[in-house]
Structure 1
Amino acid sequence: MTLTTWTIDGAEITYTDSGGDGAPLLLIHASGSADWFTPLAAEPALRGYRVIRMVRAGYTGAPAPAGLRIADHARHAAALLRHLDAAPAHVLAHSSGSTIALQLALDDPGLVRTLLLSEPPLIETLAAPEDHETLRAMLGPALGGALAAAARGAVPDAYDLFMTGVCGPAYREVMTRALGAAAVRRAQERSGYLFSDEIPAINAYTLDVPGVTRLRLPVLFIQGGASPAPFHRLIARLAGLVPGATVVTVDGDHLYPLTAPAALADLVAGFCPPGPARPAAATAGRA
């Protein structure tokens, strides 16, 4: 599906929009590639939805404004939903994209119909406190090495160090099989933003615990059965803060949006059926 370019406050984003009369489903990708949800968007189980796949600022091939925060990316997502008259939407996000989706729900709850958070990133503000030292030991060398490589201009090396540290040594094989070699090269070539701006923005993100406890919309947390235990404890912690949150496990590790898109699509369809484009209350409110 062809990407459409749109600019907000000097930031270029792109998106695909399947159209139709089904409920909008906004997909917000993780770090490292704009194509985390490309296979999912094509799954037959999602044909009843209006699927909107957003490519965030910094991932379109155009320079992004310096210093974008997670709140800025959330504001871009909110503006896109309004631009497309696609609210309220079911919102699905993976890894770092989950911080953006969560902030969107906190800042503009009227735009979000259902929130689906797929393995939020292993950062201290989200992780279980008992895992903080483990995460420093597990991810610190890879992230430190990646940032150092990027600083000396070795961006391909930085990308490999980052993706290996977060997704494991088989990441390139999985990405190539799911997306094709050209998409993997494109992700690598466009990864400068990840190291210059995105990692600092994610590390600076602070969880609004009181705000999270006040969320009053359906929230689903998704985890990979083969993912490291800190992912599971992080999700258990967050689910314990959100009233009525649901947790489900899918086969695979952190790469499951690429290895098991059909299972993920079935899960989405089961938790938030496509239904009408707007719930009855929202439709009545627009009359």
Structure 2
Amino acid sequence: MTTRTYAGHATALRHWPGGPGRALLVHCSLAHSGAWKGVAAHLAETHDCRAFDLPGHGRSGPWDRRGVYQDTVCAQMREMIAEWEAPVDLIGHSFGATAALRVAATAPELVRRLVLIEPVFFTVAYQADPAFREAQMQETSEVEEGFRTGDYRRAAIAFLSDWGGGQPWESLTAEQQEGFTEQMKLVEAVFVTNNGDPDGMLAGGLVARLQAPTLLIDGGASPEASHRIVAALDALIPDTHLVTVPGAGHMVPITHADTVGPLVTDFLT
């Protein structure tokens, strides 16, 4: 790995050589760029793959808590892509997919094709079905309650239960538990964009005019919100292909890399 500065942040970069295509992969909250190892292995013959650790994750520097977290990540991505030679194929998972969608919508010249795996852009699901938003708002989740009270350990336990890879909290080491608890502050920081409309992507019709062909992937055993989000994007984006991986949960690109990898490779070639 190497470290460079993007958008003013020390950023750890990972590289899987290949070619001739170029793919930038953006990981989910609480993970790091190594999470893409399995998918990148399937892309080796067709793509040179790069990934980076989000601020406050992996070996990247901490987030300075200035401004909006997703704004910082998108600024990093734009700099990386422009430096690398645009356009590239952009692949994102969970929060990483929300940032990938935003970059593709606001800077279409940077993105050739787009892969969104379980994007947590709740706003698009709420727009498609206001009743679903109302139902969600009436339920105070354990995660939100943890944020409200400053109990980030409680928030981490609940978050990983719904959006993790299925590993019980009790099976994690004390160091892992401490790390996830601290990183929940970053999950809290992305709520504003996961549940908002940055750059007016929806209100301004940017997503509805998205130019990049888009592959949407979710897991058959994922939370209901995941299915609603990809369904809403499938209906909104002009050129899409939606695939549900049977039996998979939210961490599908890690737990089912041998299914996701070929799907992504076929779509990008």
* TM-score interval, normalised by the smaller of the two chains: 0.7 to 0.9
AA aligned to 2:89 is H
Which residue of structure 2 lines up, in the alignment, with residue 197 of structure 1?
189
On the 8 A contact 2:33/2:51 being kept in 1, the answer is no
Per the TM alignment, residue 173 of structure 1 is displaced from its structure 2 partner at its CA by 4.9
On the 8 A contact 2:122/2:225 being kept in 1, the answer is no
Matches within 5 A, 1:152-171: 154-167=151-164, 171=166
Which residue of structure 2 lines up, in the alignment, with residue 46 of structure 1?
43
Matches within 5 A, 1:35-74: 35=33, 37-43=35-41, 45-48=42-45, 49-59=47-57, 60=59, 62-65=61-64, 66-74=66-74
AA aligned to 1:160 is I
On the 8 A contact 1:143/1:161 being kept in 2, the answer is yes
Give the alignment's TM-score, normalised by structure 1: 0.78
The secondary structure found in structure 2 opposite 1:215 is coil
Per the TM alignment, residue 51 of structure 1 is displaced from its structure 2 partner at its CA by 1.0
Per the TM alignment, residue 47 of structure 1 is displaced from its structure 2 partner at its CA by 1.2
Which residue of structure 2 lines up, in the alignment, with residue 283 of structure 1?
none
| CA distance in structure 2 between the partners assigned to 1:22 and 1:137 by the alignment | 49
Are 2:240 and 1:268 aligned? no
Q: Percent identity?
A: 25
Which residue of structure 1 lines up, in the alignment, with residue 221 of structure 2?
226
| CA distance in structure 1 between the partners assigned to 2:162 and 2:19 by the alignment | 41
Which residue of structure 2 lines up, in the alignment, with residue 188 of structure 1?
180
Deviating above 4 A after TM superposition, structure 1's stretches of 4 or more consecutive aligned residues are: 180-187
| CA distance in structure 2 between the partners assigned to 1:106 and 1:8 by the alignment | 20
Which residue of structure 1 lines up, in the alignment, with residue 201 of structure 2?
208
Count of paired positions = 259
Per the TM alignment, residue 30 of structure 1 is displaced from its structure 2 partner at its CA by 1.2
Which residue of structure 2 lines up, in the alignment, with residue 136 of structure 1?
137
Gaps of 5+ in 1: 274-287
Which residue of structure 2 lines up, in the alignment, with residue 276 of structure 1?
none
Q: Deviations over 1:22-59 (max 9, x none)?
A: 2111111111222573342453x211211111211222
On the 8 A contact 1:36/1:257 being kept in 2, the answer is no
| CA distance in structure 1 between the partners assigned to 2:191 and 2:17 by the alignment | 33
Which residue of structure 2 lines up, in the alignment, with residue 256 of structure 1?
252
| CA distance in structure 1 between the partners assigned to 2:34 and 2:136 by the alignment | 23
The secondary structure found in structure 1 opposite 2:17 is coil
On the 8 A contact 2:16/2:49 being kept in 1, the answer is yes
Are 2:14 and 1:16 aligned? yes
Per the TM alignment, residue 266 of structure 1 is displaced from its structure 2 partner at its CA by 0.6
The secondary structure found in structure 2 opposite 1:70 is helix
| CA distance in structure 2 between the partners assigned to 1:35 and 1:224 by the alignment | 20
Change in CA separation of 1:105 and 1:61 when aligned onto 2, cut-off 3 Å: closer
Larger RCO (CA under 8 A, 6+ residues apart): 1
On the 8 A contact 1:13/1:57 being kept in 2, the answer is yes
The secondary structure found in structure 2 opposite 1:56 is coil
On the 8 A contact 2:156/2:181 being kept in 1, the answer is no
On the 8 A contact 1:70/1:201 being kept in 2, the answer is yes
Change in CA separation of 1:62 and 1:238 when aligned onto 2, cut-off 3 Å: same
The secondary structure found in structure 2 opposite 1:262 is helix
The secondary structure found in structure 2 opposite 1:124 is helix
1:30 paired residue among 25, 28, 31? 28
Per the TM alignment, residue 198 of structure 1 is displaced from its structure 2 partner at its CA by 2.9
On the 8 A contact 1:15/1:55 being kept in 2, the answer is yes
The secondary structure found in structure 1 opposite 2:242 is strand
| CA distance in structure 2 between the partners assigned to 1:21 and 1:242 by the alignment | 28
On the 8 A contact 1:30/1:36 being kept in 2, the answer is no
Gaps of 5+ in 2: none
On the 8 A contact 2:14/2:50 being kept in 1, the answer is yes
AA aligned to 2:267 is F
On the 8 A contact 1:239/1:246 being kept in 2, the answer is yes
Which residue of structure 2 lines up, in the alignment, with residue 106 of structure 1?
105
